Each structure stands twice: as C-alpha cells, then as structure tokens.
Chains A and B, each alone.
Chain A
C-alpha cells in the first residue's frame, strides 16, 4: 500500500510540475513570449524574433514559436496551449478565438484591421514554365494539371480557390459563368494536399503543371533552392493574415505585434516574400527568390480583396465553403465523379 501511495504522489507531483510550466505572468518585464503561428510563418519569423529581442521593448524577452496548420493552432490555443500572440492564416480563426474569449473582441479595431502580413495568390510553375501558364484561362485547358491544397483542411486553399473564383467571375461576369469555369478548374486538379507546404513539396517532386500558392511561399521555396518558377497573374486575391494578442499576455506581446507591423518588422517579412502592409514604407528591398529581385512585387492589375469582392470571411465561408451547401465544396465533391 505504501508504495502505491508513494507512486501516486510522484505521479501527481510530475503532473503538477508539467502543468506549472505553462503559466505566464502579466506584469513582468522579461520571460518567454509564446507566439503561435500558421505554418508558413516558421521561417519568416526567425529573423523577426531575433530583431525584436534586440529592440528596447523586446529586451529581456525570449520569443518562442509554435507552428502548424491555421485551424490546428486555433484549436490548440482554444484547448489551452500557452500563447501570448496568435498569427493565423484566416480571419475567422482569430474571430473564433475572440468569441471564445481568448482574444479581445475588438482585436481587429486598429489601423491594419487586425492584419499582420499580406501576400497574393500566384501560379507556381515547373522550371521554365513548359506549359506556358500565364492566365487563369490557361488553367482550364485540357491536360493542365493543377495542385492546390484541400480547402477542407487548409486555410491557404480557401485563398487560392476564392482567387480563382474571383478571376472567373470577373471574366464571365456571372456566378453561373464562374461556376462553369470552376467546374473545369476542379476537373484539372490532380492533387489536393492537406496543407500549403505539402502542396509545395508534392509540386517540387513533379506533381502537376501549376501550383496555386501564396507568393511568399513560392519565393521562400526558391530562396531555399527549390527549382520552380512562378507567375503573378493579372487578376488575383490579396491574402491577409490576421494577428492578435491573447488576453492576459504581458505587454511585450503588444509590443511584438506593433513591431511586426512596423517598417522594421515588415521589411524582414518582405525579405522572405511577403508584400508590405498598405501604408508601410519599407524602402527599396532586394528580395532573393523573386522573379525580379530588385522589383520583387509587380502591381497586380486587378487585385481583389476578401472584404470588397467577397463580402468578408463570414459571408464567403457560408456561400463557398459551407460543409454541405458551399458552392466550392459541392463543386469539389463532384469533381472526380
């Protein structure tokens, strides 16, 4: 009996020790800041973390990142994972944290509407663009193989599919026309990987002729020496990734968020392929891996936004991605039958 009690005590002590590590204090001026981000942020954040730790506000703080698919990270934070700031792919993921009380309900009431990083949807193509993919219409040609992540499991896929829908809507002028084009588009998709990163990996290994992806993701892949090219289409969608401070986090979390949006922070993000937030002047930055490093971000002729062209995420999610009745959900489910 005695040894059972001892064992129980030891186990209990162990559990307490483990859970004790997760707490953070609200008023200290040094410690660890836990940043929870969607997967693409992992490489981009390394330099931003280091730079912030060198600023006056970041002095004494150690930043620690935790990364995964946007929805997974959202659920992890909901489930109690230690987090001081979240930086996710889709606005609804942060909104869900807000409605659960993890994030202040007015998190988006600021100059950038709660957005920390911007990019656009581009076509990744195999080296030398052998199929000469230039426009959204090129994707509909018979025999063109498209790779795009699964909108069911990946936030980035929703950006991609909405960009396509928006482009076809603009071209055909009607929902019916856009849907007819999307049907052809879906029929050409040969692979629906579970995340944006998996899609890039599959594409680099020869799957498909076109990879629908974020501009920053493709530029980063090229910076890492991957052999693929990309094309900025003349119509695209502005990708806006939201960020917010978690309730009860130390003030340094607010400071970090401000640093991310500052010219210094944005410059570091730009170097890894993101587009600077509107109104932030990062000066002339040479971006390795861009088609033209000295002019890395050509103006997109028709740049649509989720708010102006799709009525915001709530409306778009219901109309296009509802699990049973979403337009794109249904088109996808029927695509290979």
Chain B
C-alpha cells in the first residue's frame, strides 16, 4: 500500500514538473527555434555575417566572459567573507571591531540581493548617474564606452556566485579543515584540497547563471550604453531592433544563436568543473 501511494505521488510530481517546465521553457524555446528555421539557413548566415550583428554578438560574449571571471573571483571572496572571516583580535579594540564587522556583514548580506530586486532599468538609471557625464566619482564611462557595459552586467550578475557559494560554505564542516591543519597542512593547502573541491560545483553553477544572464541583459543597458554600431551595441539591443522592424526571422535566428552560445558555455563550464574537481 505505502509503496503504491509513493509511486503515484512521485509520478504526479514528475508529471506536474514536466508540464510546468514544458509550458514555461520547452515550448517557447522550441517555438523560437522553429521560427528561426522557417527562414532557412540563409537567415542564420545573414545574421552571422552581417558585421553589425556579429560585432554585437562578440562584444556581448566578451563582456559576459569578463564579468563572469570577475564574479567567480570576487563573488567567492564575498561569500567567504560573509560566512567565514572574522577580524582577528588586535589589542583592546577587538570587541568593537568584531561588533562592527558583524553589523557590516548583516548589511552586506541584505544588500547583495538588490541587483535582483531592482528593476534593471532603474539600475541603469542609477549607474548612469554614477558613471555618466555628471559622475560624482569623475568616472565618465557611460554611455559611450564599453566599460559602462561591463559595469552594468557586473551589477546585475553580482548575486549569482555569492548566493550559490554562500550556503555551501555555511554547510561545510570546519572540523575537516581543523583536522587537516592539525596534521600540518598549510592554510593554502587546506583551502585548495578541502574547501575548494566542496564549493567548486557551486562556483561553476553561479558562473553559468552569471554568464547566461550577462548574455541576455537588456534593461540596464538601455540607458547605460550608447548603442553605437560596432562599438557599444549589445546583442539584446540588436535583437530588439530586429523585432521592431518586424524582422522576426532574423530575431529568432539571433535568439537561437544566443541559446546555442549559452548552452555551449554551460557545457564548457561543466566539463572544466569536472576536470578541476578531478585534478584538484
């Protein structure tokens, strides 16, 4: 009896998950690919050989890769700081320092998610006022330089690696690290041999999300990028232009190319992760 009920429950769960997944993801994606195929291979050829679109694609991939690398390093560091590092007790001010760090950590932990919560167009506006012509920081990057695009993508993708690595670090038992240290392992060795293998899948999962998100970013770039052909025009803006011109075949073809790029990136990251995990 109990066995049968479990099966039925599991079947129902799987069925519901698949229906939901199909409605939300599979069917729309299939529709895009079918639409793109409707224009034939010529559409793909045209989209990929047209220099303006190609440059937009290359720029977007380049920016997303750069930001992902930055996120992997800094995101992991931020997660580490949030979970692990506590200031060393130095002299009499130790109590205050520790208290203050605790507060800062709580605030940072809350603020990290803001790029998720903020509508990206608002993010673009805020970043434009910070890095635009009226920049109080003296950094006049937006909207004419590629640095502005980098900043926008970095802003919206910041939480990915932090939020994937953080829970893993929290669950990680420090006993093993202590044991390794007590057996004479240097701090770096402990990090490399014990901590890193544990958090690696999380880091790579965060990196995939970050890359895919960077590839498709549109909202924040609307104001932050000048959309100059060949220079600061990203692929999402190009895609929007195709749609506005009712050139849906080209739009679908370009979207399919983006899908393939994202898929390839996720595959590559997965392979690299397995390699690194194996060789430590």
| A contact residues vs B (CB 8 Å cutoff) | 3-4, 7, 69, 71-72, 74-75, 96, 150, 152-154, 189-194, 198, 201-202, 205-207, 323, 332-333, 335-337
Bound CA–CA A13/B227 (angstroms): 45
- List of 8 A-B pairs having minimum Cβ-Cβ separation, nearest first: A206-B133, A152-B241, A191-B226, A71-B244, A192-B227, A153-B241, A206-B134, A153-B244
A202 to B229, CA, bound (A): 18
Given A7-B16, A75-B246, check contact A193 B132 (CB 8 Å): no
Cβ A193 vs Cβ B240 within 8 A: no
A190 to chain B, nearest CB (A): 5
> CB < 8 Å: which of A72, A154, A194, A207 contacts B132?
A207
Contact of B246 with A71 in the complex, beta carbons under 8 Å: yes
Residues of B within 8 A of A (CB): 12, 15-16, 51-52, 125, 128-129, 132-134, 142-144, 222-223, 226-231, 233, 237, 240-247
- Whether B246 contacts A190 by the Cβ 8 Å rule is no
In the complex, the chain B residue whose C-beta lies closest to that of A74 is: B246
A152 to B143, CA, bound (A): 19
Which residues from B are CB-within-8-Å of A201? 125, 223
Contacts of B242 in A (CB 8 A): 152
Cβ contacts under 8 Å, B245 to chain A: 71, 152-153, 323
**Do residues B246 and A205 form an inter-chain contact, with CB atoms below 8 A?**
no
Q: Judging by beta carbons under 8 Å apart, are B244 and A72 in contact?
A: yes
Is there an interface contact between A193 and B227, defined as CB atoms closer than 8 Å? yes
Q: State in angstroms the CA–CA spacing of A7 and B144 once bound together.
A: 53
Task: Using CB atoms, name the residue of chain B closest to A332.
Answer: B229
Asked, given contacts A202-B128, A207-B132, A207-B133, whether A96 binds B246 with beta carbons under 8 Å apart, the answer is: yes
The answer to whether B240 and A194 have CB atoms under 8 Å apart is yes
Give min CB distance, B148 to chain A, whole Å: 11
Within 8 Å by CB of A333, from B16, B125, B227, B229, lies B229
A206→B244 CA distance, assembly (Å): 27
Known: A150-B241, A153-B244, A190-B228. 10 other contacts (CB 8 A): A4-B12, A71-B243, A153-B240, A189-B228, A191-B143, A201-B125, A205-B129, A332-B229, A333-B51, A336-B229
Closest CB of chain B to A247's CB: distance in Å?
20
The answer to whether A152 touches B12, judged by C-beta atoms less than 8 angstroms apart, is: no
- Contact partner of B143 among A69, A75, A190, CB < 8 A? A190
Contacts of B52 in A (CB 8 A): 333
B223 contacts which of A152, A198, A335 (Cβ < 8 Å)?
A198
